[in-house]
Amino acid sequence: MIEFKNLTKVFQDKKREVKALHDVSLQVKEGSIFGVIGYSGAGKSTLVRMANLLEKPTSGQVLFEGKDLIKLSGSQLNDVRQQMGMIFQSFNLLKTGTVYDNIALPLKLTGVPKAEIDKRVAQYIQIVGLQDKLKVYPAQLSGGQKQRVAIARALAHEPKVLLCDEATSALDPDTTEAILELLSKINKELGITILLITHEMNVVQKICHEVAVMEQGEVIEQGSVIDVFSKPQTETAKRFIHSLFNDDIPGDLFRKLKTNGKLVSLSFIGESAGDPALAMVTKKYDVFPSILGGNITDLKERPFGRLIVHLDGSESEAQKAIHYLEESGVIVEAYTKEDPTHGN
């Protein structure tokens, strides 16, 4: 539905050139929720702003339903933009207008008749669950409610795509969860394709079907969420995945255990992996696993876990145990701490 082909963006400020995007190619399929994740400065905002050409590429193509946006006339581009709603971290609501005005005014500007405007306002305010707030001003709303209004405003144009620029980054965890549920419902029930950018892995985990990991203007990894989560290839993707699990072990314990036996992290998806495989290891090999930390969450309705395990035993028995775990579908990595001296 949206395709970015070999996109490059170079910003020229007074002092230097900044390459915000370098040869980025991505395909967002119709009906999917596609997440782009990266740390600050990775190029995510620049990329999402290219989907509707708010930002023009230095080179490369942006295709929407096969049309090359760069080749469209101004009015054709406006038509395409109408089909792409956008929501932002800072909500961008009109402070001097009520909730009704915020949804209705942009429709009025595009020439939608009054009766149709009222119908759409009623329909979409209901979808976001704020039907009792139409006469209220944004200052009287919580962050989550403001984002709901922004979502209703975007939906009222009946777009095919919703672009979300860090839509939950200003919200607390419970409100984030509620907004993510709403986005997921919009995707399922209205069939709207969603392209979102975020620096929070839990956003990707909760609602995305596909993910691209960005670093320094490049896409360094992409694929289905299950594939990228189960077999991350890059250090950055691994760090994002580990951020889902609060499983750090204290520095003293780390230093004590790493000199004796093997200290590993086990990642697994699905019921058949993880715990049961670990139980078998004790039966089959002369090693004693101790679980030091970890967590199990869910990914696309399947358990997704990470355990920090100390395998006490000889090098050869520990290696056999690791091999067995890997054969059982568990991803085994040496457990390291970013700063082993930290936390004394």
Ligand X SMILES: Nc1ncnc2c1ncn2[C@@H]1O[C@H](COP(=O)(O)OP(=O)(O)OP(=O)(O)O)[C@@H](O)[C@H]1O
CB of 258 to ligand X, least distance (A): 35
Query: Quick check: 38 binds ligand X (CB under 6 A)?
Result: yes
Strand, coil or helix: what is 34? strand
What is the DSSP secondary structure assignment for residue 4, as one 8-state letter?
E
Contact yes or no for 31/193 (Cβ under 8 A): yes
Contact yes or no for 149/97 (Cβ under 8 A): no
Q: Which residues contact 179 (CB under 8 A, 6 or more apart)?
A: 144, 147, 148, 151, 167, 168, 171
Q: Which residues contact 140 (CB under 8 A, 6 or more apart)?
A: none
Residue 263, beta-bridge partner list: 310
- Of 41-49, 230-238, 298-306, 327-335, which part binds ligand X (CB under 6 A)? 41-49
Closer residue to ligand X, CB minimum distance, 46 or 267: 46
Query: Quick check: 40 binds ligand X (CB under 6 A)?
Result: yes
Query: Quick check: 56 binds ligand X (CB under 6 A)?
Result: no
Query: Quick check: 163 binds ligand X (CB under 6 A)?
Result: no
x/- mask, ligand X, residues 126-155, rule CB under 6 A, reads ------------------------------
Q: What is the CA radius of gyration of the chain?
A: 24
Q: Which residues contact 105 (CB under 8 A, 6 or more apart)?
A: 94, 97
Closer residue to ligand X, CB minimum distance, 18 or 249: 18
Query: Quick check: 213 binds ligand X (CB under 6 A)?
Result: no
CB of 40 to ligand X, least distance (A): 3
One of 2, 4, 26, 44 touching ligand X (CB under 6 A): 44
x/- mask, ligand X, residues 5-34, rule CB under 6 A, reads ------x-x----x-x--------------
Rounded distance, CA 25 to CA 208, Å?
A: 18
Query: Quick check: 170 binds ligand X (CB under 6 A)?
Result: no
One of 7, 33, 35, 46 touching ligand X (CB under 6 A): 46
On the CB side of 327, CA atoms within 13 Å amount to: 8
CB of 44 to ligand X, least distance (A): 4
Query: Quick check: 42 binds ligand X (CB under 6 A)?
Result: yes
Cβ-based neighbour number of residue 157 at 10 Å:
18
Query: Quick check: 176 binds ligand X (CB under 6 A)?
Result: no
- φ, ψ for residue 30, nearest 5 deg: -60, 135
Residues that bind ligand X in the complex, under the rule CB under 6 A: 11, 13, 18, 20, 38, 40-46
